[in-house]
Amino acid sequence: MAIDIAKARHEVLIAIPGKKRRRRLTVLNQMEDFQRLITSLARYGRPVRAAFEATGNDHRALAYHLATAGFEVKRLTPVALPHLIKTLSLSFVRMPISKLGMPPFGGP
């Protein structure tokens, strides 16, 4: 799962192994939406790895609630992302989540 963090709302992209379609969600920065996301993720019955680029403090509440619910939370350093993208010689717009070296659910 990849999360685009913003002040008022977060855009979530969920990729499931073996399926081509990805699910997109908008999660407001409030407890009710955090619970809705956690419930939705728990229904998959698989391990979840959440990854996001944290450039400020806006990620902290969501990251805390995801981690407390038992999901793996990975923070990508903003400084490292351009280097990673350059190394992979891919544009970020077309880069699938799997190219970041993190399977969306389960995996090693």
| Tally of domains within the chain | 1
Q: For residues 25 and 40, what is the distance between their CA atoms, to the nearest angstrom?
A: 10
Asked if the structure places residue 78 within a domain, the reply is yes
Q: What are phi and psi of 95, to 5 degrees?
A: -75, 115
Q: For residues 49 and 3, what is the distance between their CA atoms, to the nearest angstrom?
A: 11
The 10s digit of each residue's pLDDT in 53-69 is 777 788 889 999 999 99
pTM for this predicted structure: 0.69
Helix (H), strand (E) at residue 74 = strand 72-76
- Beta-strand relationship, 72-76 and 22-28: unpaired
Domain that holds residue 9: 2-100
Asked if the structure places residue 108 within a domain, the reply is no
Q: For residues 52 and 74, what is the distance between their CA atoms, to the nearest angstrom?
A: 7
pLDDT band at residue 31, thresholds of 50, 70 and 90?
Answer: very high
